[in-house]
Amino acid sequence: MDFELNEDQRAFQDTARQFAQDVMAPDAAQWDATQFFPKDVLRQAGELGFMGLYTPESEGGIDLPRLDSALILEELAAACPSTAAYISIHNMALSMVARYGSEEVRRAFCPGLTAGEQLASYCLTEPNAGSDAGNLKTRAVRDGEVYRLTGSKAFISGAGDSDVLVVMARTGGDGPKGISAFVVPADASGISYGKKEEKMGWNSQPTRAINFDEVEVPVANRLGDEGQGFAIAMEGLDGGRINIATCSIGAAQACLQFAVSHVSERQQFGQRIADFQNTQFKLADMQTELIAARQMVRLAAFKLDTNHPEKTAYCAMAKRFATDVGFQVCNEALQLHGGYGYIREYPVERFLRDSRVHQILEGTNEIMRVILSRRILIEGMTEILR
């Protein structure tokens, strides 16, 4: 096993780091404070290929492995976890369109989405179907050559500002097998949006509810076959979980560096805070856990790239571990800053707020434990992982 990055991967990493530090970092605090959605920056990210990371080149993307994509997202998150996370969600929705859309759909939507000229939202969660997504109620009833889409979605990133919605809706009976996926123009007649949610973090991307009232969706806009939508959504979430985990790693890496700088400069009781053994031990633990989480994320990305039979379990483990560690490292970094960490002049409080939601979305960490415990107890996964 070779844990070193190759020359191409280093180049992707360097390009993303430069973009993050030059374009994202200078304004990230202002985006957070004013709840500003930086669409121009997303278009610039599209020029570098970051809005179509693992979309095939035939559809305008750069067709990177998930491991290489994770390297890029980590660097972006080290500047602004909120904006990097939206880029992750956009890529997840776009990849579903690129992989499962008809030629007509791909031709209509992929060029603008991969360029960052159009933005996508992933619409699975409902007011009463969050973790229990297989019981969603939004329904699409076929009427000749269109479906009529009715229902509501909640907590949708980019909603109200995005151009394309990837929507999971019920076309058949109860349960996951009755769900299909559709690509829907965000300005279609019958779509309305709720207020922009006031959130603890993730303020550089809007979050709204979406209501669908007899929205006409052409049959050609269905992704895959009827009844395939839940499987498509879950497949997208495998990669999404790696992405959001690596955004936590990027946030934690930035906070660790902020903490090292702060304790090296600030003095208490006649010496640098860095000279106290308690501080040194805390930094050592933060670094160790961060490295462990990063390697788990990269292992899961490799398993997804190689289509390992337990790829979903690896992605769930990585998501659970890395988002917990990421938040913990950000929290420890804030503690090392003392009272300074709690004021907005210092960036650690923003990284802490932005990273907290990673333990909830793309499947809560409790759901990650459900996925893993089922695999361990029912399917004997422990033998496969040896």
How many residues are there in the chain? 386
Decide: helix, strand or coil at residue 382.
helix
Catalytic residue among 74, 75, 332, 362: 362
Could you give phi then psi for residue 175, rounded to 5 degrees? 90, 175
Active site residue 216: no
**Spatial distance between the Cα atoms of 173 and 175, rounded to a whole number of angstroms:** 7
DSSP label of 360: T
Q: Residue type at 93?
A: A
* C-alpha pair distances (Å), 240 with each of 141, 272, 298: 29, 41, 13
Choose among 15, 161, 141: nearest CA to 76.
Answer: 15
Strands (E), the chain: 120-123, 139-143, 146-157, 164-170, 179-185, 191-193, 207-218, 222-223, 267-268, 271-272
Q: Residue type at 36?
A: F
Expressed in percent and rounded to 5, the helix, strand and coil fractions of the chain are 60, 15, 25
DSSP label of 24: I
Choose among 105, 108, 77, 70: nearest CA to 91.
Answer: 70
- In sequence order, what are the residues at sequence separation of 6 or more whose Cβ sits closer than 8 angstroms to the Cβ of residue 4? none
Write out the catalytic residue numbers.
362
